């Protein structure tokens, strides 16, 4: 595969939890790339997409108000080709903040484990995402029904629906899987409904809500220092210098030249547009670190090679070069969109015709999680203008959620689920040690009856969930083996408990 093709894949492989409209635009394309790779994988292994079938079920719009009769249609997928009927286990793949496809039950590490254990594969799309959106559902009055609590109740109802559809009994042991936000849902589903799911794998799961998620950029900075993945002191120094020069030029009267240098769609004249440009430039580093070595050569090592290349004069020029590489590999993006007004316009769309999931997820950050990736502390290698205020000021503007209520919203989430000490047992938390989201996950083992944790050296966001490849680091291969052992132990334990 050509370098430009690999770079394109890397650019697209960005998780939706990241801030910045640029990353969300990239996410629109990631499904196409992943699906193409899954198709090739299925062809290679003589498997067919017809193994999966799509279904729909009616869900209450509000599980917690029995006087309200409104419902919506929720999409799910099933793959029963590996299922050892009637007593084989059930592997539940939980959808997160984006559309779900049939590949949720056709490809991935959980699918390879399902083949080994004879499991029925099922997956549920998250409410208000993909095709599971209430008509007019993105209007403010309906978004109140978009929450993790409602999503867990959806999963409980889905458990009953599948159990009735396939005549399941207590002998059919359920194990849940999820990554990132869906990883947190996987852990919380086990915590809140332990009678429905026996064990849960939670990959890169931010189970602690955090208003000011400054630790995200702190971990990014540390990862850019990490020599095991190609980082260095010189790299971080160059990044700091580059952002310092860009910021000084932007707010020192040279915004026209900066706009030309970085191929901006329009000159960033307002302070808000200049800050938007700084966020876009930071997103280049965030995306590269978060998914390091997952696809193609655009890695921390490659990025740092560019930023420390002495043949290019000055850190500013190296950052310009790096940005042009991104624009070139995106192809369909002729210029860098840095309009704050356009961001607000996109977030105000009340249909999912714009950037899928963008408005919904921002609502959840305001109402439940925070997760605002700020750069106000000294450890952040980017611009100090990426503040909490620049992000949270959109909550009242878009959703009528006052900024003053955000701390209480985050506090409730942590009280409800346990925060950094989640009320979970038989949950396996899996994280990569260069993944910025590990800062809000569980990276240490609990007691013998509590949760377990796997921290994968030099690994990135949700890497363990992907199918194994020959390019995988030994640490990632070992982690998948540990996950398989843990799932096997749960299934044997469940079988013994039922016999007793």
Q: Are 296 and 407 in contact (CB under 8 A)?
A: no
Planar angle of CA 24, 220, 398, nearest 5 degrees? 35
Which residues have C-beta within 8 Å of that of residue 331, sequence separation ≥ 6? 8
Could you give the CA distance from residue 441 to residue 436 in angstroms, rounded to a whole number? Answer: 10
Q: Are 186 and 200 in contact (CB under 8 A)?
A: yes
Instruction: Note if 461 is an active site residue.
Output: yes
C-alpha dihedral sign at 140, 212, 284, 465: negative
Instruction: Note if 435 is an active site residue.
Output: yes
DSSP for 234-289 reads: HHHHHHHHHHHHHHHHHTTT-HHHHHHHTTBSS---SHHHHHHHHHHHHHHHHHHH
Could you give the CA distance from residue 114 to residue 89 in angstroms, rounded to a whole number? Answer: 8
Which residues have C-beta within 8 Å of that of residue 150, sequence separation ≥ 6? 62, 63, 64, 127
Give the H or E element holding residue 313: none
Side-chain-side CA neighbours of residue 305 (13 Å): 8
Instruction: Note if 180 is an active site residue.
Output: yes
Could you give the CA distance from residue 126 to residue 132 in angstroms, rounded to a whole number? Answer: 7
Per DSSP, the three-state class of 75 is strand
Could you give the CA distance from residue 411 to residue 368 in angstroms, rounded to a whole number? Answer: 9
Catalytic residue among 337, 461, 464, 472: 461
- β-pair partners for 453: 429
284 closest CA partner among 332, 225, 242: 242
Side-chain-side CA neighbours of residue 380 (13 Å): 21
Q: What share of the chain is helix, strand, coil (3-state, %, to 5)?
A: 50, 10, 40
Catalytic residue among 273, 435, 464, 472: 435
267 closest CA partner among 282, 252, 280, 277: 277
User: Within 10 A of 473 (CB to CB), how many other CB atoms are there?
Assistant: 17
| φ/ψ of residue 396, rounded to 5 | -70, -35
Catalytic residue among 19, 104, 176, 180: 180
Residues belonging to the active site: 180, 435, 461
């Amino acid at each position: 595969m050509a370098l430009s093709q690999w770079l394109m894949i890397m650019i697209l492989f960005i998780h939706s939890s990241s801030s910045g409209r640029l990353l969300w635009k990239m996410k629109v394309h990631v499904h196409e790339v992943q699906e193409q790779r899954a198709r090739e994988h299925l062809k290679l292994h003589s498997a067919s997409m017809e193994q999966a079938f799509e279904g729909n079920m009616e869900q209450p719009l509000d599980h917690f108000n029995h006087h309200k009769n409104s419902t919506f249609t929720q999409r799910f997928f099933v793959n029963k080709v590996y299922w050892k009927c009637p007593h084989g286990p059930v592997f539940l793949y939980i959808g997160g903040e984006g559309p779900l496809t049939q590949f949720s039950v056709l490809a991935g590490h959980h699918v390879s484990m399902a083949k080994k254990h004879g499991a029925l594969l099922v997956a549920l799309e998250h409410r208000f995402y993909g095709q599971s959106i209430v008509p007019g559902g993105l209007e403010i009055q309906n978004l109140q029904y978009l929450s993790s609590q409602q999503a867990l109740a959806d999963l409980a109802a889905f458990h009953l629906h599948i159990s009735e559809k396939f005549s399941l009994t207590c002998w059919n042991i359920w194990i849940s899987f999820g990554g990132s936000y869906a990883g947190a849902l996987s852990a919380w589903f086990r915590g809140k409904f332990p009678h429905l799911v026996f064990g849960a794998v939670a990959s890169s799961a931010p189970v602690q809500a955090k208003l000011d998620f400054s630790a995200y950029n702190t971990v990014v900075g540390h990862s850019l220092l990490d020599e095991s993945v190609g980082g260095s002191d010189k790299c971080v120094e160059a990044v700091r210098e580059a952002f310092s020069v860009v910021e000084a030029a932007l707010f020192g009267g040279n915004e026209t030249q900066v706009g030309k240098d970085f191929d901006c769609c329009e000159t960033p004249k307002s302070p808000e547009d200049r800050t938007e440009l700084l966020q876009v430039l930071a997103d280049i580093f965030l995306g590269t670190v978060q998914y390091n070595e997952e696809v193609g050569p655009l890695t921390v090592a490659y990025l740092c090679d560019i930023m420390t290349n002495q043949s290019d004069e000055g850190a500013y020029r190296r950052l310009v070069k790096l940005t042009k590489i991104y624009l070139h590999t995106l192809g369909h993006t002729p210029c860098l969109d840095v309009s704050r007004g356009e961001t607000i316009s996109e977030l105000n769309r009340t249909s999912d015709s714009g950037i899928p999931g963008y408005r919904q997820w921002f609502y959840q950050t305001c109402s439940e999680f925070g997760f605002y990736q700020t750069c106000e502390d000294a450890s952040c290698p980017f611009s100090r203008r990426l503040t909490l205020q620049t992000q949270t000021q959109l909550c009242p503007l878009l959703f009528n959620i006052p900024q003053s209520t955000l701390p209480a919203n985050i506090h409730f989430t942590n009280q409800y689920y346990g925060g950094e000490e989640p009320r979970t047992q038989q949950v396996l938390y899996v994280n990569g040690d260069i993944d910025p989201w590990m800062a809000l996950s569980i990276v240490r083992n609990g007691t013998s009856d509590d949760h377990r944790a796997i921290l994968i050296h030099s690994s990135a966001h949700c890497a363990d969930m992907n199918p194994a490849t020959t390019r995988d680091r030994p640490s990632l291969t070992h982690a998948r083996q540990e996950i398989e052992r843990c799932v096997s132990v749960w299934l044997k334990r469940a079988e013994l408990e039922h016999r007793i």
